[in-house]
Amino acid sequence: MKTGFDNEKYLKMQSEHIKERINQFDNKLYLEFGGKLFDDYHASRVLPGFAPDSKLRMLMQLSDQAEIVMAVSAADIEKNKVRGDLGITYDDDTLRLIDEFRAKGLYVGSVVITKFTGQANAVMFKKKLENLGIRVYNHYLIPGYPSNIPLIVSDDGFGKNDYIETSRPLVVVTAPGPGSGKMATCLSQLYHEHKRGIHAGYAKYETFPVWNLPLKHPVNLAYEAATADLNDINMIDPFHLEAYKKTTVNYNRDVEIFPVLNAIFENIFGESPYKSPTDMGVNMAGNCIIDDEACKEASRQEIIRRYYHALEGIAAGTSTEAESFKIELLMKQEHLTVQDRSTVSPALVRAEATNAPAAAMELPSGKIITGKTSSLLGPCAALILNAIKELAGIDHEKHIISPTAIEPIQTLKTKYLGSKNPRLHTDEVLIALSSTAARSDDAKLALTQLARLKGCQVHSSVILSSADRKTFQKLGCDLTCEPKYQ
């Protein structure tokens, strides 16, 4: 895929813009940090050239000025809420993120447990953090939040929250997931700082929607598709239009909450520093697009991928039809069908021809490779072998793993490990290939091609097992599946 985004320009421009925003206040800025810091693969898919860890790298450029506060909801801790992409609870992910930040040389000042009402698991988690030498603060539920402004901006509202002691000019408030109370944490701190005579500021860092792209630009439509389960809707920022006579894009939740935020700012400071939700943002991504057509095409493909994921969710019982209907409307706006995904038809044609599950992959050259079900291999295992043989220039008919080497693995699976499926999954076939590479030059050459699969598009005629799905994720392939089980 063509590069459409200048990542180095973005890192420089974004860090400089945040420094400018710090200087607008008393050298103290609370930055609500939305989205993923380490693995923003959505951004890297719709803005080809955007590195998945761009936000983290940008923060590292500000490491001498930045301090991180982790916000985690006591309600999420209590119900053992799990991150869908990682399969770990929010409290465990808080610890993981702290380790990740510290490993990158970033200073994690503290953890704030939000929406605290004495939940037992939250109390235990606080003790665990304190035993690890991490400072922990409690923020409490405020009746009528966010509408009851007189109560919120009082000693019985924000005033009851612990004051989070910070030591650096940029305080980044982030969390393991949405709904963790990042914004409320920032606003509470503004209240406490003001009482101490410090005119601190607040800003919001969200990559999407991109405020200075058109409302119906595919990059922004792809964001709507990605948040279809939340029912987020991109919209023109009416406050910005009224104040500046300029059209900018925001999303419904920020537009709806702005009058409340504005009133809170006025109650704390006497006047609001912002005239619109767009004013609060610091995102510079829209200024770093260098090939608009490349980003448009990448975003159209993302909308189709999101549609397939929604259909899978319906089949698995984890999402509703409303989500798929919304994405279907977005597809119609862009005149898209599933056939516009290059790997869909080849996978379905191969499955129909063999009367068994099949899969297809688009290589970096644009060539489509397929894999079918056999007595030895599942379709995705066959697909990966076929793809790396093609990339290595090895004849398709040549075995890079001997069938006699696969048979003992099948015996292990079925006779000793209780598996009913003798065919090798993707992870198993890669281990077999690695073993063969010790004595086969062809296998060794094929193995070195795995890195070239990153960013390749894959489609399966059936919903895949978790083992195959995780392998494609680790290889960096973008996977979609027909919404049916084998």
Q: Cα 171 to chain center, whole Å?
A: 22
Please state which CATH number belongs to domain 7-217+231-288: 3.10.630.10
DSSP 329-367: HHHHHTT--GGGSTTHHHHHHHHHHHTS-EEEEE-TTS-
pLDDT of residue 178: 82
Query: 199's torsion region: left (phi>0), alpha (psi -120 to 50) or beta?
Result: beta
pLDDT of residue 85: 63
pLDDT of residue 468: 95
Measured distance CA(68)–CA(62) in Å, rounded: 11
Measured distance CA(479)–CA(469) in Å, rounded: 8
pLDDT of residue 105: 93
pLDDT of residue 84: 66
What's the CATH architecture for 342-481?
3-Layer(aba) Sandwich (3.40)
Angle between helices 292-316 and 218-226 (to 10 degrees): 20
Q: Do 7-217+231-288 and 342-481 fold alike per CATH?
A: no
Per domain, the residue ranges of the chain are: 7-217+231-288, 342-481
pLDDT of residue 255: 94
pLDDT of residue 160: 97
Long-range contact set of residues 345-352: C-beta below 8 Å, sequence gap at least 24: 346/370, 346/459, 347/459, 347/460, 347/461, 347/482, 348/461, 348/482, 350/461, 351/461, 351/462
Element (H, E) at 58: helix 54-61
pLDDT of residue 308: 97
- Taking the chain (486 residues) in runs of 10, the rounded mean pLDDT of each run is 93 95 93 83 94 91 95 94 77 94 95 97 97 97 91 95 97 91 95 94 94 97 92 93 97 91 92 95 96 98 97 91 96 97 98 98 97 95 97 94 89 89 92 92 96 96 94 95 94
